[in-house]
Structure 1
């Protein structure tokens, strides 16, 4: 049985004080982790104080990104080894904003996924389609090549520690969410691709999230779909009350 996940991605929002205040407001109002997992990805500067603030609560603190090397002359990058040692056990990789603004390729993301797993981090691997490709009639089949490339070379044991997030880039930060059927189509296709790569048993245990303009108004319809195991939320996760409404949908 796949445990649902409600995960917030703050992106480049909140300073340390704001982040800690948020954690303290929500930490005692969350369901047990065996019923529904809750997680927040914050800016790197905030992560260690967030981990401390979330102690003795089910809330997991995630990194928004990491590099594929543990150390070296890589100015400005974040080591997956250092993240794990700091108490971070999850990291978002391949977000469409990283692909678009920082020119991250599937080859680079694949390296990051492998480095994260080697260091004990569980990656949330994002993949998307574009409105242009959907309008052109290609629907979400583009995500197949993304999954094949981003997860290339992983073992059956490693893939069990991966969560995939289907995030149509045209829905992120636009207020235009994919309708539940579109979202379910993307998640189903991802699961079928993983099944082709690793078999049905593995695919049925991998959790697949939807992300892209998730709100308190559409979360129930999204979570009702069989192949949607949770959501990766952007703007709606910035407010403690709204985040709690999403968690307790």
Structure 2
């Protein structure tokens, strides 16, 4: 099974100004990027529309989060329907920062995933364990529990709209990276779980990205792993080396 390589750039609460964002977009617009890699960038919500209007057409734009209601008295939220209305095709859901800083549990993330798919969005669904859970040998258990919440509210056909991002929480922004063996083993476990819980077809076709301190220095080795289908990149997506990560398989 040949799965398309996929690289996402999660800008998080960066850049601090529109001018800096324009500079980031300008760099990507000029970069020579592997045409066989799907590239998606996720700027802060306030910059979604200007970035979408100025970025080259072969790079897609994602929201970093959304709510599960189409409209209503939900101050500060963005709905999936609104994202679709302005032409944003992707949303990131379940990022560890949403789970830990904003106390979103797997049930809420599954509800958001259901709403996003129903509205026509594609979802980059993040899963991952803490260092304590990794050291306790619970990585597979945690990832499966996070996935099961979504499995319970989806049909097999919905999984063509989902990309999984495995992000070990202990490797996000810490400079620590899962070893190639750790990354491959966890991705293979995730694929095996989805093959059993949804279908063998979904298990073989689903793109599973690695996220956690991915850089130009370590991306090529990780990109060679059979069950790593790309990356969700944080800090490095704000730097010129993001182009090198996109070209990891070139």
TM-score (norm 1): 0.95
Structure 2 CA distance for aligned equivalents of residues 81 and 19 of structure 1 = 25
- Residue matched to 1:218: 218
Tell me if structure 2 keeps the 8 A contact 1:32–1:58. no
Report the number of matched residues. Answer: 246
**In 2, Cα distance between equivalents of 1:111 and 1:204:** 25
Matched, 1:39 2:53: no
Deviation at 1:150, TM superposition (A): 2.8
Q: CA deviation at 1:151?
A: 3.1
Paired residue for 2:168?
168
Instruction: Please give the per-residue CA displacement for 1:64-112, whole angstroms capped at 9, x wherever unaligned.
Output: 0000011000000111111111111001000000000000011100110
Q: Which residue of structure 2 aligns with residue 153 of structure 1? A: 153
CA deviations over 1:194-243 (Å, ceiling 9, x no partner): 1112211121111000101111111011111111100000001111x211
What are the Cα deviations for residues 161-193 of structure 1, in whole angstroms up to 9, with x where unaligned?
Answer: 100110111111101011111111111111111
Unaligned runs of 5+ in 1: none
Residue number in structure 2 paired with 1:247:
246
Shift of 1:28: 4.0
Distance between the aligned counterparts of 1:139 and 1:70, measured in 2?
34
5 Å matches for 1:1-249? 1-14=2-15, 15-31=17-33, 33=35, 35-55=36-56, 57-239=57-239, 241-249=240-248
Question: Which structure 2 residue ranges, 5 or more long, are not aligned?
Answer: none
Per the TM alignment, residue 131 of structure 1 is displaced from its structure 2 partner at its CA by 1.1
The answer to whether the Cα contact below 8 Å between 1:164 and 1:208 also exists between their aligned partners in 2 is yes
- After superposing on structure 2, the runs of 4+ consecutive aligned residues of structure 1 that deviate more than 4 Å are none
SS at match of 1:137: coil
Q: TM-score, normalised by structure 2?
A: 0.94
For residues 15-61 of structure 1, give each alpha carbon's deviation from its aligned partner in whole angstroms, at most 9, with x where no partner exists: 3222222112212434465x111111110000000000025x31111
SS in 1 for 2:92: strand
Residue 86 to residue 8, structure 1, CA distance change in 2 (3 Å): same
Q: CA deviation at 1:139?
A: 4.0
Deviates more, 1:39-48 or 1:9-18: 9-18
Contact 1:66 1:91 (C-alpha < 8 Å) held by counterparts: yes
Contact in 1 for aligned 2:111/2:153 (Cα 8 Å): no
Q: Over the residues paired in the alignment, what is the CA RMSD in angstroms?
A: 1.3
Taking the aligned partners of 2:77 and 2:151, their CA distance within structure 1 comes to 22
